[in-house]
Amino acid sequence: PSATARAEAAERLAGLATPAGALGRLGDLAVWVAATQGTVPPEPVERVRAVIFAGDHGVARHGVSAYPAEVTPAMVQLFLAGRAGVSALANQHGVAVRVLDIAVDADLDGPVAEHKIRRSSGAIHVEDALTPAETRAALDAGAVVAAEEIDAGAQLLISGDMGIGNTTPAAALIAASLGLPAIEVTGRGTGVDGDAFARKVEIVQQALDRAGDRVDDPVETLTALGSADLAAAAGFMATAARRGVPVLLDGVISVASAVLAERLAPGAAAWFAAGHRSTEPAQSLALDKLGLVPILDLGMRLGEGSGAVAAVPLVRSAAVVLRDVALLADLDL
């Protein structure tokens, strides 16, 4: 983002016909939008595009989720029909949604599968999620998709996710990147508790132990502990940052990919804002690491990009306030 635009935006914010600081974090967000655009006042944030990276996870067959893996392809169909949670939010707020089968454990036809890497990803506590070639292919797929969305005019990108079991690799990726043990990062996902939760913590820790020092390298981290959909999202975000297009992060899956994007393309996080705080502990830990404070904190844990889409009106609010409010100097005093 532009340091010059940031400074100019902060100056304009201080000169608005509002008490100093009265806009709170909406003001900070406005300054960030202006810095990412390199324009003061910022342009209205009209063209927002969300991409949902869908994929299954080998760990889902090992009791880490409250839902069976068969839900993943059914949900992909629901996105295509425009009837999922994120669809309703996106429709309300004029956000374009594209869903991609990156690694669903089913054979889906048509454009949804145009970037498919494989069926499912490896069960990370006993095997690598991907081969090195698959990791590269997934990163490249995400990069291509980001470029397509940017070329289609996106001013702001969102990465969503769908895949039963996905909070397990997300927790592992964050733990590995932050140097934390499984017990600190593992959450309840769609709703596991008791023995199933204990089993999930154990699986994350087994995965971390299995990966060992390989996690010092971001690509190896994705190969060992990630999944094709998470790698694609990381490539998507790294490319957005490289192209200078801001990204609004969603929950723990999106933020895990963002952590990897920052490792792959250092400085990328400056192009990211956090849409919401999810209930997953790894998400908050990773946002702290990235230096991001979420806009919303509503206890949401739906995934699909829903928390980010719900926050889009706040990003728009921030931009219009900095753009349209009179300056104190214009007041008739």
CA distance 102 to 122: 14
Task: Lay out the sheet containing 156-162: strands in order across.
Answer: 95-103, 48-55, 156-162, 247-249, 272-274
Strands 156-162 and 95-103, how do they pair?
Answer: unpaired
Binding mask 181-200 for a copy of itself (x = CB under 8 A): ---------xx---------
Query: Looking at the annotation, which residues are catalytic?
Result: 304
Task: Write out the binding residues for a copy of itself, residues 152-171 only, by CB under 8 A.
Answer: none
**Shortest distance (Å) from residue 197 CB to a copy of itself:** 15
Contact 98, 51 (CB under 8 A): yes
Decide: is 300 part of the binding site for a copy of itself (CB under 8 A).
yes
- The distance of closest approach from Cβ of residue 65 to a copy of itself in the complex, given in angstroms and rounded to an integer, is 10
Among 96, 144, 270, 296, binds a copy of itself (CB under 8 A): 296
Residues of this chain, 53-112, that bind a copy of itself according to CB under 8 A? 66-67, 70-71, 74-75, 77-78, 81, 83-85, 87-89, 91-93
Q: How many CB atoms lie within 10 A of CB 152?
A: 11
Closest by alpha carbon to 148, among 211, 220, 240? 240
- 100, 174, 286, 325: residue in contact with a copy of itself (rule CB under 8 A): 325
d(CA 110, CA 197): 37
Query: Token pair of 5, please?
Result: 């635009």
Find the helix or strand (DSSP H, E) in which 81 lies.
Answer: none
Residues 6+ apart with CB under 8 A from 209: none
Compute the least distance from the CB of residue 104 to a copy of itself, in Å: 14
DSSP state of 130: S
* Residues in 214-253 at the binding interface with a copy of itself, rule: CB under 8 A: none
Are 152 and 145 a contacting pair, CB within 8 Å? no
Please tell me whether residue 280 adopts helix, strand or coil conformation.
coil
Q: How far is the CB of 215 from a copy of itself (least distance, A)?
A: 29
Residue choice 7, 26, 106, 270 for contact with a copy of itself (CB under 8 A): 26
Radius of gyration of the chain, Cα coordinates, nearest whole angstrom: 20
Residues 252-291 that bind a copy of itself (CB under 8 A): 279
CB atoms within 10 A of CB 203: 25
In the complex with a copy of itself, the residue whose CB is nearer, 83 or 209, is 83
Q: How far is the CB of 131 from a copy of itself (least distance, A)?
A: 31
Number of residues this chain uses to bind a copy of itself (CB under 8 A): 56
Q: Does 206 bind a copy of itself (CB under 8 A)?
A: no
**Chain contacts with a copy of itself (rule: CB under 8 A):** 16-26, 66-67, 70-71, 74-75, 77-78, 81, 83-85, 87-89, 91-93, 190-191, 279, 295-303, 310, 313-314, 316-317, 320-321, 323-326, 330-333
